Amino acid sequence: GENVEQHPSTLSVQEGDSAVIKCTYSDSASNYFPWYKQELGKRPQLIIDIRSNVGEKKDQRIAVTLNKTAKHFSLHITETQPEDSAVYFCAASKGGSYIPTFGRGTSLIVHP
Amino acid sequence: SAVISQKPSRDICQRGTSLTIQCQVDSQVTMMFWYRQQPGQSLTLIATANQGSEATYESGFVIDKFPISRPNLTFSTLTVSNMSPEDSSIYLCSVVASEYSYNEQFFGPGTRLTVL
């Protein structure tokens, strides 16, 4: 089955810096890669996703890049703010299967 | 987006008892799932709740321990049976709705279970 590795497990940055979280996947048939943000005590919420037919997607301060050849994708957050502090999960799933495999999560801490 | 509610939001239970968690969605959805999230950990899929048939369980989870019902396209229950302290966790309902973005998954608020 699919295996998703996520790094780092913890990331500490100063407000205004950029943050990058990286994930690798094992199944070359995977074609959908969502990212979820989970604030303390709350539910995971989708913040951005990318499909295998594109290499990059942006939404304001966040962006995701995908390298299908290397089977890795990354989340980029620019101009970080304290409210970006949360656990971020990457995931990968195959076409026809709605069940993603999640990474282990990255705890992002943004210091004011 | 799909609006998902869960009941109870939290509970403290005694060892050996059972707890049933309810998940209600505000619209008909294609697929419903149950996840477990232990403190500081990732999301572990327990099973896919199938409407009108038995749930599909992931490796390590069995029907006798986690019976699941899904009587219609908007509602599901998960029972945690014969509980032990190791079952203390957050249990999350999740849905994929075909009428929304392809493969977008929504999560319920979770049920925080503590077993003494």
Interface membership of B66 toward A (CB under 8 Å): no
Point out the least confidently predicted range of A44-53, B15-24, B77-86: A44-53
What local confidence, expressed as pLDDT, does residue B98 receive?
60
* Nearest residue in chain A measured CA to CA from B108: A43
pLDDT of residue A98: 67
| A105 closest CB neighbour out of B31, B42, B96 | B42
Any CB–CB contact under 8 A between B45 and chain A? yes
Rounded CA-CA distance B110/B93 in Å is 7
The percent of residues above 70 in pLDDT, for chain B, comes to 94
Instruction: Pick the residue of B34, B35, B43 with the most A CBs within 10 A to test the interface with A by mutation.
Output: B43
- pLDDT for A111: 96
Give the Å distances, CA to CA, from A51 to A7, A31, A36, A91.
21, 6, 15, 12
Nearest to A90 by CA among A19, A10, A25, A11: A25
Give the CA dihedral A22, A24, A28, A33, nearest 10 degrees: -40
Burial (CB count <10 Å: 0-12, 13-18, 19+), residue B7: middle
Summarize pLDDT for A74-97 with one digit per residue, the tens.
999 999 999 999 999 999 988 666
What mean pLDDT comes out for the span A43-66? 93
Instruction: List C-alpha distances in Å: B29 to A18, B5, B63, B82.
Output: 37, 14, 23, 30
The confidence band for A62, taking pLDDT boundaries of 50, 70 and 90, is very high
Least CA distance to A86: which residue of chain B?
Answer: B40
Per residue in B78-106, pLDDT tens?
Answer: 999 999 999 999 999 999 866 545 567 88
- The answer, for A65 touching chain B at a CB cutoff of 8 Å, is no
Query: What is the token pair recorded at A22?
Result: 């990286």
Residue B73, pLDDT > 60, answer yes
Q: Out of B48, B92, B101, whose CB is closest to A99?
A: B48
Kindly identify which residue of chain B lies nearest to residue A47, measuring between CA atoms.
B104
Q: Is B105 on the interface with A (CB under 8 A)?
A: yes
pLDDT at A45: 94
Query: Average pLDDT of B17-43?
Result: 93
Q: What is the pLDDT of residue A35?
A: 96
Q: Which residue of B has its CA nearest to A94?
A: B103
Q: Report which of residues A41 and A21 the model is more confident about.
A: A21
Q: Is B61 on the interface with A (CB under 8 A)?
A: no
